[in-house]
Amino acid sequence: MNWGIKKPLSFVKLNSTATTHIQFRTLVKVRLKWAKNKTLDNIIETNTQLKAAYLLKHSIVRSSTGFITSKSISNSHKFLGLTIPTLRFIRRYPTLFQEFNHSKYPSLPCFRLTEIAKNLHDQELRILEAHEANLVERLCKVLMMTRDKIVPFESLNALKWDLGLPDDFDRNLVFKYSDYFRVVKDRTGVSCLELLKWNDEFAVSVLQKRYENVESGSEKEFSKFRRGQSAMAFSLRFPRGYGGQNKVKAWMEEFQKLPYISPYEDSTGIDMNSDVMEKRIVGLLHEFLSLTEHKMTKRNYLGSLRGELNLPERFTRIYTRYPGIFYLSMKCKTTTVAVREGYRRGKLAEPSPLANVRGKFYYAMKTGLMYQNKGVHMLPELAGLSSSGYGEDNDNEGEKDETMKECNADACSDSEEEFDGDLFDVFGDGSL
């Protein structure tokens, strides 16, 4: 099938400097120590709790009875990403989940949605419907980044929350847009989603769009490297103390001047061990994370797409090689990667309408209201709430929101790895 992919300039008309970059490693070698960011760690904790509550909400919505029993969720804490029993977690939020006894088995606790949860769910459905074209574009872009334009549903289902896809996207959205997608089986019989229609308008990365919108004299970090024909610079937000180091400056300046390869362009002709491929990997991960609702996802979710995205075996080293672009967190007994520029002052820099509704959902969670009708009276306040990232305004990356920390402390284990002061060589062989 002809996808209409044009060979990028860097593939066809490389100058001598770019060719050197492809054949050899010329970047300055820099050893960087992993630094903890408490603000981002706290946001990741909050996102974990919010996702767990959403999954429980979806279970109730899908249930034919309109409720779930404590027995049905008793062993679901690992699936939900919790470190405490699910029953203890769901009882923490009576604003969203109303507990009652089963009519046939009085000793069996059951849970249904409160009126406030139903209203927020209806808001979410309206937003998904209103922005359906954006969801289709996002799903197309994920498929367009892959080598064969096909992704297993197992991988997409794991990413539903992060990509903001409807709970039933595989049953409704895919079939509604049959001109874009079709369901196929791979050679092993696994059900996959295949892209049928390539759209050139979708094949523009976030970084490329930003360059198109940069005005003369603005956004210095981008305009600084615009002299190069194909070089594009990533926004950098180094941990405190890194940005002023001369070696780090020299290394990043060389990296930023490398040709930028769009994640939507064919990369099979690039040497896997070259600097240009390294920048292509950074660009692809940057684009993928930028497509997510909260500018983050679990490391293993991206790992499951390594083959489809044409990534090398140890590509996760990129996260710690470029701490000015990515942040790696070990919160909640899992590994999450976030793109730093997605957050400013402890909040999402550009929250989507769906992220705002999720923020309202979290606001309802943390109020701790004990009576459902009192919560209903809060709906006008929730409707006007602009919640863009759950955090408080904060320029200091090391400061935590203690209110959120207290809310999440029991459900999300504080088990981040400090790496025992290990240093990560930019070109080392160690893998996370």
Beta bridge partner(s), residue 97: 113
Backbone angles phi, psi at 162, to 5 degrees: -65, -40
> Which SS3 state, helix, strand or coil, does residue 1 take?
coil
Residue 22's pLDDT is: 42
Residue 290: alpha-carbon gap to chain centroid: 7
Residue 416's pLDDT is: 34
Q: Per residue in 363-373, pLDDT tens? A: 888 876 444 44
> Which SS3 state, helix, strand or coil, does residue 384 take?
coil
Q: Which two tokens stand for residue 340?
A: 């730093």
CB 145 within 8 Å of CB 287 = yes
Residue whose pair of structure tokens reads 């709970």 in the numeric block: 167
The C-alpha atoms of residue 51 and residue 125 are separated, in whole angstroms, by 16
Is a pLDDT exceeding 90 seen at residue 108? yes
Paired sense of beta strands 109-113 and 97-101, if any: antiparallel
CB count, 10 Å around CB of 412? 26
The C-alpha atoms of residue 96 and residue 166 are separated, in whole angstroms, by 20
Q: Which two tokens stand for residue 189?
A: 């019989």
Nearest CA-CA partner of 198 in 5, 408, 403:
5
Residue 74: alpha-carbon gap to chain centroid: 28
Sheet of 191-195: strand order equals 150-152, 191-195, 181-185
Q: Is the dihedral of CA 348, 41, 120, 387 positive or negative?
A: negative
Global pTM reads 0.80
Residue 378's pLDDT is: 58
Which segment of 208-217, 292-301, 345-354 scores lowest on mean pLDDT?
208-217
Nearest CA-CA partner of 260 in 240, 281, 239:
281
> Which SS3 state, helix, strand or coil, does residue 396 take?
coil
Local confidence band at 243 (pLDDT 50, 70, 90 cut-offs): low
Nearest CA-CA partner of 305 in 322, 319, 285:
285
Q: Per residue in 71-100, pLDDT tens? A: 999 999 888 988 889 999 999 998 899 999
Is a pLDDT exceeding 50 seen at residue 26? yes
Local confidence band at 32 (pLDDT 50, 70, 90 cut-offs): confident
Percent of the chain with pLDDT over 90: 50
Is a pLDDT exceeding 50 seen at residue 217? no
CB 221 within 8 Å of CB 233 = yes
CB 256 within 8 Å of CB 223 = no
Please give the average per-residue pLDDT across 151-164, as a whole number.
95
Our CA angle for 16, 219, 236, nearest 5°, is 70
Beta bridge partner(s), residue 296: 338
Beta bridge partner(s), residue 182: 194
b/e burial code for range 230-264 (CB count within 10 A of at least 16 → b):
bbbbbbbbbbeebeeeeebeebbeebbbbbbbbbb
Which segment of 88-92, 181-185, 241-245, 428-432 scores lowest on mean pLDDT?
428-432
Residue 213's pLDDT is: 72
CB 252 within 8 Å of CB 32 = no
Find which of 293-307, 310-324, 375-389 is predicted with most confidence, using mean pLDDT. 293-307
The C-alpha atoms of residue 410 and residue 224 are separated, in whole angstroms, by 46
Q: Which amino acid makes up residue 428? A: G
Mean pLDDT, the chain, rounded, equals 78
The C-alpha atoms of residue 296 and residue 318 are separated, in whole angstroms, by 15
The C-alpha atoms of residue 413 and residue 164 are separated, in whole angstroms, by 25
The C-alpha atoms of residue 334 and residue 123 are separated, in whole angstroms, by 31
Counting beta carbons within 10 angstroms of the beta carbon of residue 49, is it exposed (0 to 12), middle (13 to 18) or buried (19 or more)?
buried
Q: Which amino acid makes up residue 202? A: F
Residue 59's pLDDT is: 95
Residue whose pair of structure tokens reads 């684009």 in the numeric block: 287
DSSP assignment of 152-193: EHHHHHHTHHHHT--TTTTTTHHHHTTTTEEEEE-TT--EEE
> Which SS3 state, helix, strand or coil, does residue 297 take?
strand
Is a pLDDT exceeding 60 seen at residue 387? no
